[in-house]
Amino acid sequence: MSPVPFVAPVVESTAAFKDDIFKGKVLFCTGGGSGICRGMTEAVMRHGANAVIIGRKLDRLTQSAKELSEKTGRTCIPAQADVRKPEELKEAVKKTIEKFGKIDFVICGAAGNFLAPISGLSENGFRTVMEIDTIGTYNTIKATIPHVRKTKGAYIHVSATLHYKGSQYQAHVSAAKAGIDALSTVLAVEEGPFGVRSNVIAPGAIAGTEGIARLSNKESRRPFVSPLGRVGEIKDVESATVFLFSDVASFITGQILVVDGGAENTRQSQLPYPQAVLDPESISKMVKGKL
């Protein structure tokens, strides 16, 4: 009989970190209205911080800010901005300073994604993802850095693992995430002497997110396995966030923390290969969204 594989527990960050380690801190989070970045914001607030969440859709941001405040007992406010527009981000920073007086932590998390082969991806489609992910990260850094220097704060950039290998239909996202990784490394080197840290969290497949709903293989329902026996949860990314922003990570900068249960170290492919490349029509039935 085969042994039953281990399944890693999902553990709340409060199991290992004190409730008040971020008391008095202020978080500025792009993409914080939903998904992984909303979870990251909730975790930082759970440990005492107040937060500003930034996104394009004010109604969703307002609702999320209300729920995050109620759940954590801290204050979260929405700031509407498109990360592709530096002026809008500067306004969001101004709003943050007016409300809370400073910025300690920044999460650069706003992102866009869809599946498309290079041969069928329009110039505008490629540019759009580069603008949201990579230039949006640059714009966020530029808008916040004077304030983060003042507090000797820290950045976390949300990247991915798909660009470590050739992930089919993800040229735009792969290029964009590689750019984010590079920006973080340079930021760490340039801003370290000012007391600012910069790290990347690279989640693998995370259950319950829009990204995974769009990218997963509907037909085979093949589960995303990992050596630790399960798919990732937003809580896994939350715990990594709390760790990297905490004082115990004060000597860690310019690093990429992969949160995927070791999945990146296996040889699984997300889509059937090479069938999916040679016959895009066959997988258009399996995935949401046009190819």
Give min distance, CB of 272 to ligand COA, in A: 19
**33 touches ligand COA (CB under 6 A):** no
Q: Does 112 bind ligand COA (CB under 6 A)?
A: yes
Residue 90 appears among annotated catalytic residues = no
193-222 residues in contact with ligand COA (CB under 6 A) are 210-211
Q: Edge to edge, what strands does the sheet with 197-203 contain?
A: 76-80, 50-55, 26-30, 105-108, 154-158, 197-203, 256-259
What is the residue whose two structure tokens read 């792969």? Answer: 174
Helices first, then strands: H and E counts in the chain: 10, 7
- Coil, strand, or helix at residue 116? strand
Q: How far is the CB of 56 from ligand COA (least distance, A)?
A: 8
Cβ-based nearer residue to ligand COA, 86 or 125: 125
115-144 mask for ligand COA (x: CB under 6 A)?
A: -x-----x-xx--xx---------------
Q: C-alpha angle 182/214/40, rounded to 5°?
A: 55
58, 144, 160, 161: which is closest to 103 by C-alpha?
A: 144
With CB under 6 A as the rule, give the number of residues binding ligand COA.
14
Q: Which is nearer to ligand COA, 104 or 133 (CB)?
A: 133
C-alpha–C-alpha distance, residues 177 and 162, integer Å: 9
Q: Does 53 bind ligand COA (CB under 6 A)?
A: no
Q: CA angle at residue 17 from 16 to 21, to 5 degrees? A: 180
| Side-chain-facing half-sphere of 280: CA atoms under 13 Å | 13
Out of 13, 25, 174, 177, the active site residue is: 177
Shortest Å distance, C-beta 227 to ligand COA: 24
What distance in Å separates the CA atoms of residue 117 and residue 169, rounded to the nearest whole number? 4
Name the active-site residue from 13, 64, 95, 159: 159
- Residue 289 in contact with ligand COA, rule: CB under 6 A: yes
234 contacts 35 by C-beta, under 8 angstroms: yes
**Residue closer to ligand COA (CB basis): 85 or 150:** 85
Calpha distance 46→99 (Å, rounded): 19
Applying the rule CB under 6 A, the residues between 70 and 109 that interact with ligand COA are: none
- Please, which residue, 221 or 290, has the CB nearer to ligand COA? 290
| Residue 71 annotated to the active site | no
- Nearest distance, CB of residue 164 and ligand COA, angstroms: 17
Where does this chain bind ligand COA (CB under 6 A)? 111-114, 116, 122, 124-125, 128-129, 210-211, 289-290
Catalytic residue list: 159, 177
